[in-house]
Amino acid sequence: MRLISREYKPGDELSINKLYKLITNIDRSLPEYEWEWINTWNGQGSIWLLFDEDRDKNDQLVAQYSLIPTPFSIWGKSYLAGKTENCMSHPDYRGKGIYSSHEKKYFKEAQKRFQLFFTTAGNVAKGATGAIRRKLGYLAFDSWVHYIYCTDSGVLQKMIYSKLENKLGSILGLTKLSSTIISKISFMYFYMFSPKKATQSIKLLNEKHSPLKEIETLWDNNKIFYGISVDRTSRYIDWRINKNPYFDHQYLLCNKDGELVGYIIFYKHNNMLSIIDILAANRNRSIFKDLIDNLIIYAKTEKVQAIECSTLKGNKLLGKVFRSSGFINYNIFPFRKISIRSHRQKPFHVFVSTHILASKEALVPKNWYITDLVKEGRPR
């Protein structure tokens, strides 16, 4: 092996996409790559590559360590975070310590640009990703919670059936019967929380008419109340949402006295609505509820089967908000195997620079307000 490492150079995206497809089986286009990595809201992402020059000339890329710049606010003060994404190693080189040495080398370099680092899926590759990060000083910080509200009993039955089948198999039709009974009973629960009518102060806009400046102003006036979270600048929202090549997003807005006081950003996919971000002035529970109730009404009007939203377990505010509107934690159905290793139950990993750590509150999960706004922004 003749291993050579260096930063990304224009033209490398061809080799990167080739390795990416080998590992993920996703055929990513060049415009999709350029949106995510080259033309971000903060310039080019940080990308370090490892080549083996003893391989065929068209197949020399063997590893990549990369970070997407993400703006963060820590009690109102702005920092630049690096989100680890598309970090990958060629199958021929796994288990040899080559990738971990590559990341360790450039993690030190990355700290010149970023003050905060995070990984949303530290449990992938059988936990290898998280293990590498923990050796670098990352903390297995929190786990994801997936909330769902069903407007159609059929989709609920399919989800329950899938979980039962994985656990029990198709035992004499018992799995199908059980899923039918459970889904019917559960759907009655959703019906109890069904909102009666839309709120007049709520309006719906598409990306072309998104009020980016108003959202930034709302955030600037309220970020102190949200502890540690994505810094919702107009530049970031425009890049992450409006210029996203994978989905067409919509904005559900709550205005009072001519001023924006809350919003939900969401998209429709596979007959479901996925909430990317939600925010309310002063963390006001009634604003949250008005927004969610109107989204439920919209979902029913559009004959969408369900609404989903992800957040961290430590985000008690959103947990209470969604449960009070009838959403349930999808993981409450006890049909999946739970790892006995606690860090594998906490795929959200973080590394916080020492000068930020001067505040012990920075590593308290309840102080983090995290939505899908931190994720990659492509189909899962």
Q: What is the CATH number of the domain that holds 208?
A: 3.40.630.30
Nearest residue to 250 (alpha-carbon basis) of 207, 309, 307: 207
Structure tokens at 286: 């009634």
In a domain, 270, yes or no: yes
Q: Does 331 lie in the same domain as 196?
A: yes
Residue-wise pLDDT tens digits, 9-34: 999 999 999 999 999 999 999 999 99
Residue where one domain finishes, among candidates 120, 143, 166: 143
pLDDT the model gives residue 336: 41
Q: Rounded distance, CA 151 to CA 273, Å? A: 11
Instruction: List residues bridging with 268 in a β-sheet.
Output: 273
In a domain, 166, yes or no: no
**Of residues 78 and 334, which shows the higher confidence score?**
78
12 residue type, one letter:
D
Is pLDDT at 216 greater than 60 in this prediction?
yes
- What's the number of domains the chain is made of? 2
106 residue type, one letter:
Y
Backbone angles phi, psi at 71, to 5 degrees: -75, 135
pLDDT band (50, 70, 90) for residue 323: very high
pLDDT the model gives residue 287: 96
The pLDDT of 204-213, averaged and rounded, is 96
The pLDDT of 299-323, averaged and rounded, is 95
Q: Does 219 lie in the same domain as 99?
A: no
Q: What is the largest CA-CA distance in the chain?
A: 67
Ramachandran category for residue 227: left, alpha or beta (phi over 0 → left; psi -120 to 50 → alpha): left
Mean pLDDT of the chain: 89
CA distances to 10, 25, 47, 114, 325 from 50, rounded to whole Å, are: 15, 21, 10, 21, 49
* Cβ proximity of 227 and 368 under 8 Å: yes
Q: Does 182 lie in the same domain as 135?
A: no
Instruction: Quote the domain boundaries for residue 290.
Output: 178-336
pLDDT the model gives residue 183: 65
In a domain, 330, yes or no: yes
Residue-wise pLDDT tens digits, 115-163: 999 999 877 777 888 899 999 999 999 999 999 999 886 666 666 666 6
* Cβ proximity of 228 and 75 under 8 Å: yes
Flag whether the pTM goes above 0.85.
Answer: yes
Residue-wise pLDDT tens digits, 115-127: 999 999 877 777 8
Q: Does 127 lie in the same domain as 247?
A: no
In a domain, 374, yes or no: no
Q: Does 184 lie in the same domain as 329?
A: yes
Q: Does 294 lie in the same domain as 220?
A: yes
Q: Does 219 lie in the same domain as 71?
A: no
pLDDT the model gives residue 372: 97
108 residue type, one letter:
K
Residue-wise pLDDT tens digits, 58-90: 999 999 999 999 999 999 999 999 999 999 999
pLDDT the model gives residue 353: 86
Structure tokens at 194: 């069904």
Residue where one domain finishes, among candidates 100, 127, 143: 143
Q: Rounded distance, CA 338 to CA 345, Å? A: 8
* Cβ proximity of 12 and 45 under 8 Å: no
The pLDDT of 357-361, averaged and rounded, is 71
In a domain, 12, yes or no: yes
* Chain center to CA of 150: 21
CA distances to 12, 48, 76, 90, 170 from 95, rounded to whole Å, are: 25, 20, 42, 11, 38
- Return the DSSP state at 41: B
Q: Does 138 lie in the same domain as 7?
A: yes
Q: Does 233 lie in the same domain as 115?
A: no
In a domain, 344, yes or no: no
- Return the DSSP state at 332: G
Structure tokens at 306: 């369900």
Ramachandran category for residue 377: left, alpha or beta (phi over 0 → left; psi -120 to 50 → alpha): left
Q: Does 189 lie in the same domain as 103?
A: no
Nearest residue to 246 (alpha-carbon basis) of 19, 11, 29, 25: 29
Nearest residue to 346 (alpha-carbon basis) of 118, 116, 162, 24: 118
Q: Does 241 lie in the same domain as 114?
A: no
Is pLDDT at 339 greater than 50 in this prediction?
no
CA distances to 189, 202, 204, 289 from 319, rounded to whole Å, are: 17, 22, 24, 12
143 residue type, one letter:
S
Q: Does 200 lie in the same domain as 125?
A: no
